[in-house]
Structure formats: C-alpha cells, structure tokens
Amino acid sequence: MIKIVGRLLIILSLALMNSLVSFSPPSSPEDIAVSDILAGAAKVNITPITPIPMSGYGGRKDPFTGIHDSLYLTAVVFSDGSRKAAIITADLIGFSHRFCGEVFSKIEEAAGIHPDYILLAASHNHGGPANMTYSEKAIPEVEAYANKLQESIIKVVKIAGQRLQPVLIGAGKGICNMNINRRARFADGSIWLGRNPDGPCDHEVSVLKIEDLDKNPIALLVNWPCHGTTGGGENYQITGDWPGATARFVEKGLDGKVIVHVTAGASADINPIYGPNDKFQDIDAIGMLLGEEVLSVAKEIKVSPGGSIGAMKKTVIANGKKRLESRLPDQELEAGEDVEIVLSALKIGNVVFAGISGELMTEIGLYVKKKSPFVNTVVVTHCNGNSGYLCTDGSYPEGGYEIMVTRTMHGTEALISENLLELIHQFN
C-alpha cells in the first residue's frame, strides 16, 4: 500500500511539473520586439514621356529616342514619435540648389518634415533626362519635366508617410570591385579620363535593411561609390544605368517584396569598370554583380528595434574658380564666383548618412568615414543640391578633367571634411 501511494505521489508531481511548463505565463514586455522608429517606403515611376535632351554628356544635345528601362523615384519616411525624416532617391543626374529649396518647402507643408531632416539624392545616372541647370534657365520642356518631378517627389513622400509602421533596422557592409579610379596618367604627364588601377578607390557597399516586426522586408538603402556612366554619350535611350539595374536585380531576388534605394558614394574620380558605351549588357552585368553583394550583405544583417532620429545641416562657402581651358597640370587658377556647398547629417538609429551637395573625390569620402565616430557612416553625394566637382587639394597641381571643370578652389577638401565631421560628432 505504501508503495502504491508513493508511486501516485511521483506521478502527481510529474504531472504538476508538466503543467507548470505547459502553462507558463506569457513573455514579459521586455521579451517582445518594440520599436521606437516607424518607417514607410514608396516608389513611383518618373520616366519622361515627352522626348527632351539627356543629361551627363556635354556633346549629347538631341532628345532621347527611346526608353530602355524605366526611371524611379523612391522615398523612405522615418518617425521616432517626435521627429520625422525622409530619404529620397532618384535615377537622375542631380538636383540644383534652387530645385531642392523649392521642393523642401513643399514637403514641409505637405508632410510636416523639416528641411533639415530631408535628404534628396540622385544616383548620378547619365542615362536620364536633363532636369536641372547650374544657373541659366532651362528650356521649356526641361522646366516642365522638373515641375512634374517636384509633384512626384511630394507624392512619393506622402505615400511613404501613409505607410509608417514600427520597424526593425540593421546595417551591413560588403565589397564590390566593379569600380575603378578614372584619373589615368598619359605619356605626356597629363591626367584624363581612363583607368587608373593604382589610384585610390572606395569599393565599400553599404546596406541599411528595414523590416517590419514580423521580419518582412520593407526597404534596402544601398550606397556604392561610382559614377553612373556605364552607358556612354552615344546612347540615346533612357536608362537607369547600373543603379537602376542593381535595384531591379535585388528587388527580383527578394520576389518584389522590397523597395531598393540606390545612392552614390564619394565618386567624383571613380567610374564603373565597364563603359562608357552603348552595351546594355554591361549595365546589367554591374547591376547583377553589385546586386549579388547587396543580397549577400542583407542576408547577414541583424535587425533590431529602437533608436532615434537626429539631423544637422550646414551650408559652407567655398572659394570659386573659373573653368580651365585644358587638362594640363600646374595651371594658374583664376578666381570665380563663390560656391555654396550644403552639408547634411541624418542619424537613423546608429546609422549616419553624411550628405554632400556635389561630386566628392573618393579620398575625402574615405577620410570622413574613417574619422566618423559611427561605424555605419554612409557618404551620400549629389545630395540636397549641386555644387559640382569637389576635389582634394593634392589633385589641383595634377590637372585632369575634374580640376578643369570644378568650380571651387583648393582648400575645399578641409572645408568639407572638417565641417561635415563637426556635424556628425554632435550626434555622439
């Protein structure tokens, strides 16, 4: 009898233990992913309908004759409850200061986003329509496209803002060697556009991954330092060049469930390894190889909730320089009109986007990333305006295309790097 009772007690004890395991209380709030950041993404087609001149190559004057692939405008809107921010990208050559000023006011009115919290960046695609000038008034057809473009920007920001939801965010880096320094040295000692495998070149691919709380992809923000010049001046078909091809490849690789945003890093002196030519297979090849790296990096990124949004913006004035007549080294520089350079710093969680309104030489971008206190610092060029080529001091005596056309004097390198890093350090 005692043995039977003992066995019953053991059975009852085991049953009680199992019930305690099976009916344990739900997870505490600390165990559930809760994000302080909301985000939403959107994408609209901005392919021109009416043939207008193309941008990016001075010798190409006629309107485009066809459309090879569509151009897109993308936006991600962020909110941390007290502040909203927007990162907007386009498959275009760039945006003028005037254009940015006009559209930022409209965004603030329509979406409640302060201009300091807006990054409007172009991929610097040379296969798109002309949509800006430095100072002179654009022809009516280009002006009409630019006006329509402003409407599209307001539209895409509003749509992204309507899709705000709690998100998980993470960042990662990879390498793509499909870009190369283009300041080739010729037999006469001059420097011109070509291939310089010994020159400095930043091959880093930066990826910001945004997912909803169920780990479904929302957006990937991709940055790589390279000119959008796989397609050459002889091409008269609209194309997004390698940035457009990369976005298509990555979106297809993720079953069309993600919006891909592509920006250019510091690449004033960096070209794609292929081109410039009219071979669209070269564009697709770079898009595939860069896209494969993006997918590989994105797969390994660990996302997490939380974080806040911050923004800093500053306009600096660089001493102006007139255009030179040749590429030769050691030319005397003639003073020109001073140039406004817009520097922007936008912090999303622990990622900082450092925006520059011009074409930044790769060494300056590398320096900013190295000196930034944030491991994930993304240098975004052609952002919030167009200040032209922004060169290192050491490149001026060498001459070359970039020095011939830059509108700023030496001294611009320190002006940019010191002021941009000062903005970034204020987040730390």
Tokens standing for residue 31: 């165990």
Residue 23 has pLDDT above 90, yes or no: no
- Cα(225)–Cα(265) distance, rounded to whole angstroms? 4
Least confident of 19-23, 128-132, 372-376, 389-393: 19-23
Mean pLDDT across the chain: 91
Residue 219 has pLDDT above 80, yes or no: yes
- Cα(48)–Cα(57) distance, rounded to whole angstroms? 18
SS (H, E, C) the chain: CHHHHHHHHHHHHHHHHHHHHHCCCCCCHHHCCCCCCEEEEEEEECCCCCCCEECCCCCCCCECCEECCCCEEEEEEEECCCCEEEEEEECCCCCCHHHHHHHHHHHHHHHCCCHHHEEEEECCECCCECCCCCCCCCCHHHHHHHHHHHHHHHHHHHHHHHCCEEEEEEEEEEECCCEEECEEECCCCCEEECCCCCCCCCCEEEEEEEEECCCCEEEEEEEECCCECCECCCCCEECCHHHHHHHHHHHHHCCCCCEEEEEECCCCCEEECCCCECCHHHHHHHHHHHHHHHHHHHHHCCCECCCCEEEEEEEEEEEEECCCCCCCCCCCCCEEEEEEEEEEEEEECCEEEEEECCEECHHHHHHHHHHCCCCEEEEECCECCCCCEECCHHHCCCCCHHHHHCCECCCHHHHHHHHHHHHHHCCC
Identify the residue whose tokens are 């039977």: 4
Are 33 and 98 within 8 A, CB to CB? no
How do strand 118-122 and strand 259-264 relate by DSSP bridges?
Answer: unpaired
Nearest CA among 289, 326, 50, 356 for reference residue 191: 326
Residue 26 has pLDDT above 70, yes or no: no
| Amino acid occupying residue 356 | I
Question: Residue 21 — very low, low, confident or very high, per pLDDT cuts 50/70/90?
Answer: very low
Residue 217 has pLDDT above 80, yes or no: yes
For the beta carbon of residue 126, count every other beta carbon within 10 angstroms. 24
Q: What is the pLDDT of residue 34?
A: 55
Q: What percent of the chain has pLDDT over 70?
A: 91
Are 356 and 381 within 8 A, CB to CB? yes
- Cα(166)–Cα(158) distance, rounded to whole angstroms? 17
- Cα(167)–Cα(216) distance, rounded to whole angstroms? 10
Residue 2 has pLDDT above 90, yes or no: no
Least confident of 122-136, 283-297, 299-313: 122-136
Residue 261 has pLDDT above 80, yes or no: yes
- Cα(419)–Cα(425) distance, rounded to whole angstroms? 10
Instruction: Convert the pLDDT of each residue in 101-121 to its tens digit.
Output: 999 999 999 999 999 999 999
Whole-model pTM?
0.91
Residue 289 has pLDDT above 90, yes or no: yes
Q: What is the pLDDT of residue 327?
A: 86
Question: Residue 410 — very low, low, confident or very high, per pLDDT cuts 50/70/90?
Answer: very high
- Cα(106)–Cα(115) distance, rounded to whole angstroms? 10
Cα dihedral 309, 315, 318, 321, rounded to 10, equals 100
Q: What is the pLDDT of residue 61?
A: 84
Question: Residue 417 — very low, low, confident or very high, per pLDDT cuts 50/70/90?
Answer: very high
The full set of domain ranges for the chain reads 309-425
Q: Average pLDDT for residues 256-278, to the nearest whole number?
A: 98
Instruction: Convert the pLDDT of each residue in 325-348 to its tens digit.
Output: 988 898 999 999 999 999 999 999
